[in-house]
Structure 1
Amino acid sequence: MVEASSGILITCGCLKENPVIPIKKAIVTQGHRKTYAQALGNTCDIPLFQLPTPCIKGDMVVIRVDEEDYLAGLEDCKTHLHGRIMLSEGDKPLTHLALTKKLQLMLKAIGPWKAISFGKGFYEFEFSPLEDMRWVLEICSWELSPGFLRLFAWT
């Protein structure tokens, strides 16, 4: 749960089970391909004093977020959409790169955008002008062959 200084509470379920996550530094050599295990372990050192201090409220862990930062985060997300790729049974899932290439052909009439994979077919899409995001949202779902991409507004 994240608490804005205005008293707004936002649930962060991942903090309930494991509020402290150890962070290790990985050594990455430029131009060297990493193994899958190395990519999963690719984290960085973050001094604990830079992380917000969690506190317990009832049976929840909460973190205080300044209202200014909270509102700035909300403003940033106004041009974001969430998406999910829906596949038929037996369809081979699209890679992030394959999805991006297909969408570049479909979205060549709009400004810059990017897709962020959350895994298991879930994505977040960020658009530059708000008008582009609204245009894409009006279409709502996109045929990808295989499957289709269902888009909905960020909440």
Structure 2
Amino acid sequence: MKGDENSITIPKEEYRDGLASCQQNFMSQLKLEGTWKINGSWSIVPLGRGYFEFSFSNDEDLKTILAASTRQLNPGILGMFLWPPDFNPLRQNYHSHVQVWVRILGLSLQILGSRILIAIANGIGTLLELC
């Protein structure tokens, strides 16, 4: 504990290795506004496991976007399908060996080395597997 907050010791060598490994990285933001020619407003909500929910303010815009079926995003594809009732990303065919996910927001790239992540996981509880 440091003051009123929990603290986890991160190995300095791993931190430095993490800094070095980030020297050839860059950040990006996905912007779809210019790609989609629509009239109304829309929003996106991450559902987990790579799924996103897109909501449109009118049916015409929804039909316009769905007519494209997929969108090429270099490197990758944005596949689109109509919302099915009771959709749950956890029930989709997805191969994973992880039994429990812990999401920690705001970690800098330089501390994402495996030994640092193991130290963080062990500070939280029992690590089952690091993916």
- Normalised TM-score (structure 2): 0.40
Structure with the greater relative contact order (CA < 8 A, sep ≥ 6): 1 or 2?
2
Specify which structure has the higher proportion of strand: 1
- TM-score normalized with structure 1 length: 0.34
